[in-house]
């Protein structure tokens, strides 16, 4: 955080650094999710034993959620750097309210699958909010190089 904040003075270095960071974090998130999916049986067996093999049915949700957490981390960091920590706090608060209310109605009917789906939806919503306000603040979402950086 301090390193990126100090780079904000030089716009091109800041943009290049954030672009590189974002690409690396997204790549790492995809790799982590892929590895979790490939090794799901082994991971569940090590952590919980044979009694929890049924966790396989929700494991894909957790792999995707982990990937989304990686994706959102850079955008959350950018909001903090730009002095928009309040947007992060409000977004997380509203997402938490969404999770509580949705779980209240979804879990009794759809059990653990519904809870996993609500959590996935919450992470999608949070990332959309982060992306929107990052774009609003910086004019880019740092996935491709701007014309002036080429």
pLDDT of 11 reads: 74
Residue 97 pLDDT grade (very low, low, confident, very high; cuts 50, 70, 90): very high
Q: Give the rounded percent of residues in the chain with a pLDDT score beyond 90.
A: 57
Asked if 115 and 103 touch (Cβ cutoff 8 Å), the reply is yes
Give mean pLDDT, residues 71-89. Answer: 92
pLDDT digits (tens, 9 = 90+) for 45-57: 888 888 877 788 8
Residue 43 pLDDT > 80, yes or no? yes
pLDDT of 136 reads: 93
Quote the CA–CA distance of 84 and 95 in Å, as a whole number. Answer: 17
The DSSP secondary-structure symbol of 39 reads T
Q: Going by C-beta distance under 8 Å and a sequence separation of 6 or more, which residues neighbour residue 63?
A: 33, 34, 36, 37, 40
pLDDT of 41 reads: 86
Q: Give the rounded percent of residues in the chain with a pLDDT score beyond 70.
A: 89
Residue 4 pLDDT grade (very low, low, confident, very high; cuts 50, 70, 90): low
Give mean pLDDT, residues 73-94. Answer: 93
Residue 103 pLDDT grade (very low, low, confident, very high; cuts 50, 70, 90): very high
The DSSP secondary-structure symbol of 146 reads -
Residue 1 pLDDT > 50, yes or no? no
Q: What does the mean pLDDT of the chain come to?
A: 87
């Amino acid at each position: 955080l301090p390193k990126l904040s100090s780079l904000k003075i030089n716009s091109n270095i800041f943009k290049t650094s954030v672009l590189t960071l974002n690409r690396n974090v997204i790549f790492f998130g995809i790799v982590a999710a892929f590895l979790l999916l490939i090794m799901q049986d082994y991971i569940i067996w090590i952590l919980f034993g044979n009694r929890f093999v049924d966790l396989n049915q929700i494991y894909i949700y957790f792999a995707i959620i982990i990937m989304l957490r990686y994706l959102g981390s850079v955008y959350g960091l950018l909001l903090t750097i730009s002095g928009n920590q309040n947007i992060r706090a409000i977004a997380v608060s509203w997402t938490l309210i969404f999770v509580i209310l949705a779980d209240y109605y979804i879990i009794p009917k759809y059990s653990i699958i519904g809870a996993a789906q609500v959590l996935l939806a919450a992470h999608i919503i949070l990332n959309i909010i982060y992306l929107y306000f990052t774009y609003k603040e910086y004019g880019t979402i740092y996935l491709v190089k701007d014309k002036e950086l080429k």
